[in-house]
Structure formats: structure tokens, C-alpha cells
Chains A and B, each alone.
Chain A
Amino acid sequence: MTDNTAPAFEVRVEHGKIREFARAAMSTDPAYQGADPVIPPTFLTTAGFFWQTAESKAAAVHGLDPQRTLHAEQEYIFHGEPPRAGQVLTATARIADRFEKEGRRGGSLTFVKVVTEFRDADGTLVAEQRSTAVETAHAPKEGS
């Protein structure tokens, strides 16, 4: 299951970033405040923007035309409680699936699923992010 060839990157889960993300997500849940906050369900999206290395991104490029590509689905799996502030995770990203489907209005749709795995200091898989993009036959504006 694990792709040992994928370049790994470090993700430090930070108190301030959790608070900032929770505020942006309009949450006042005390679980995201205090000394030992847990991450919000979609928080690990920040890893791709603030922590993922160019080398890791290059290894998981979906290769779809950005002008015609939409975000179709996003999934988070937590193997136990979600990570908490102070944890240092090690992440790898890979293309997990690529498939075509016939669109409702004709033309084929290309789906690509990128999976990012997050492991704790012991190397235990603690969380996964599964992000699926779809390349439409037309630009998004025309396509829907």
C-alpha cells in the first residue's frame, strides 16, 4: 500500500494554524482552542499549501488542464482520533487512481484521485486525504 518511492514532507500541526482555520470555518468549538486542540475535519488541506515540497508535488501531478478541471470530491480518513497541535507528521502524496467516465452531456470526463498519507513519529498511518479532480470536456462555465 505504501509507496516508498514517494518523496516525503514534514507537516507540523500548529496551535495558531488550527485556531485560524477554525475561525475561517466559522467554528467556536472549544475542541479547537486551548492547550491541546484537535484539527478540524478538513484541516489537512493546509499541508498541500504550506508544507508540501516541490518534489512531492511533482510526484503527484494530475496532469489535467486547469482551465477545464473541477474539484469533484474530497475525503479525509482518520485512523483513530484526528491529529492534535504539536504533532509532527510525515506525509507522502501519490496519484492513486485515474479513470474515464462518459459525461451526462457527452464527451468523456477524466477523474484523477490524489492520495496523501500522514504518518506520526512512530510511522503509524494516522490520516489520509483523498482528493479527486475531474477534467471536463468543456470549460467549467460551459460544462455545467
Chain B
Amino acid sequence: MTTTEFTRTTVVGDRAREQTFGPISITDIVRYAGASGDFNPLHHDDAAARKAGFDGVFSIGMFQAALLGTFAAGWLGAANVRRFTTRFQEQVWPGDVLVCNGEVTAVRPGDGGSAVEVALTCARQGAGVAITGSAEFWLPA
């Protein structure tokens, strides 16, 4: 009997199980505002958002980045994260359902484990992509 039969190897093209968040409520946005400390009024004060030319309050970019972080860390391990990169593409609005996906793009075997690179997306269900991201994890052997 070989042990390799029981070893789960991460390979390029592996996909995470899709994870959805929401519908995102204003309360969710405000909870993140408090946790992070970002109280820019555009994200909780409707009058301020309208005065600035928006249709109303919208989410904090770093909130959906945090959700994408929850998704990625849940997939490959919170303690294994070595890089986490997010590019903000589109605003997220109250009521949006966010759909997170990830795919392994590179695996580099190293001493005692592998460095695994992944491509990440956080999309607004039925609309555009809110965040494109990438990350690197160190997966111990």
C-alpha cells in the first residue's frame, strides 16, 4: 500500500466550491464599517451619498475584499495566507448577492510544502464583477 493514494494534491485548475454572501444589507455594511473603523459617510449616510452624486449608500470596497478573504482563507487555510491582492472593479450595492470563486493558477513545490497561487473573483449575482483578486498560500506537505 502506498501513502500517495491518500494524499490530496493541489493542482493547477482546481476550483474552490463557490460561496455566496448576502443579499448584502446596509446593516452588514455598517457592521463592517465599525469593525474596520472606516466611517466614510458615503457608506451609511444616504443624504451624504446622494449629495455626492450617487444613487444612495453603497458598500465599502474593503468589505467585499474581506468577504473574498473569508472565502479564500476558508478554502486554503487562514494561517496559510502569504499574499492577498484585490482590484476594485465595480461598486456593490445594498441587496446585492456576492458570489466568490477561485481557481488554482500555479503550484510551486518547495521545502516542506507547496506555494499555491490562485485567481479570485467576487461577482455581483446577475451583474458585473466587483473584485478581481489573486492570492498565494503556503500549503505544508
Q: Per-residue 0/1 for B9-33: is the Cβ within 8 Å of any A Cβ (1 yes, 0 no)?
A: 0000000000001000000100110
Q: With A75-B85, A82-B78 as known contacts, state yes or no: A27 contacts B70, CB within 8 Å.
A: yes
User: Across the interface, which residues of B come within 8 angstroms of A78, CB to CB?
Assistant: 81-83
Partner of A23, one of B31, B62, B65: B31
Is B74 among interface residues, defined by CB-CB distance under 8 A? yes
* A24-B78 contact given A41-B72, A76-B84, CB 8 Å threshold: no
A71 touches B61 (CB 8 A): yes
Please encode chain A, from 4 to 48, with 1 for each CB lying within 8 Å of some chain B CB and 0 for all others. 000000000000010011111111010110000010111001101
Q: Which of A40, A41, A49, A79 contacts B37 (CB 8 A)?
A: A49
Q: Is A139 an interface residue (CB 8 A)?
A: yes
Q: Is A61 on the interface with B (CB-CB < 8 A)? A: no
Q: Which residue of A lies closest to B21 (CB)?
A: A26
SS of B interface (majority): helix
Task: Give 1 or 0 for each of A51-86: 1 = CB within 8 Å of chain B CB.
Answer: 000000000000000010011111111111110000
> In the complex, which residues of chain A have a beta carbon less than 8 angstroms from the beta carbon of B77?
31
Distance in Å from the Cβ of A88 to the closest Cβ of chain B? 19
**Taking the nearest CB of chain B, how far is it from the CB of A43, in angstroms?**
8
Minimal Cβ-Cβ distance residue in A for B78: A31
How many residues on chain B are close to A (CB under 8 Å)?
A: 36
Closest-by-CB residue of A relative to B39 is: A49
> Which residue from A27, A71, A139 sits with its C-beta under 8 Å from B62?
A71
B101 shortest CB reach to chain A, Å: 16
CB–CB A49/B79 < 8 A: no
Question: In the bound complex, how far is the Cα of B36 from the Cα of A41, in angstroms?
Answer: 13
Quick check: B84 and A75 within 8 Å, CB to CB? yes
Residues of B within 8 A of A50 (CB): 37
Contact of B78 with A49 in the complex, beta carbons under 8 Å: no
CA distance A17 to B34 in the complex (A): 10
What string of 1s and 0s marks CB contacts (under 8 Å) between A115-142 and chain B?
0000000000000000000000001111
Sample of 18 A–B contacts (CB below 8 Å): A21-B35, A24-B28, A24-B31, A25-B69, A25-B70, A26-B21, A31-B78, A40-B66, A41-B69, A45-B36, A45-B37, A45-B38, A48-B37, A73-B87, A76-B81, A77-B83, A139-B53, A141-B54
11 other A-B residue contacts (CB within 8 Å) besides A21-B36, A32-B78, A76-B85: A25-B66, A26-B70, A40-B73, A46-B37, A70-B88, A73-B88, A74-B86, A75-B83, A76-B84, A77-B82, A80-B82
Q: Which residues of B contact A (CB under 8 A)?
A: 21, 28, 31-32, 34-38, 52-54, 61-63, 65-67, 69-70, 72-74, 77-88, 135
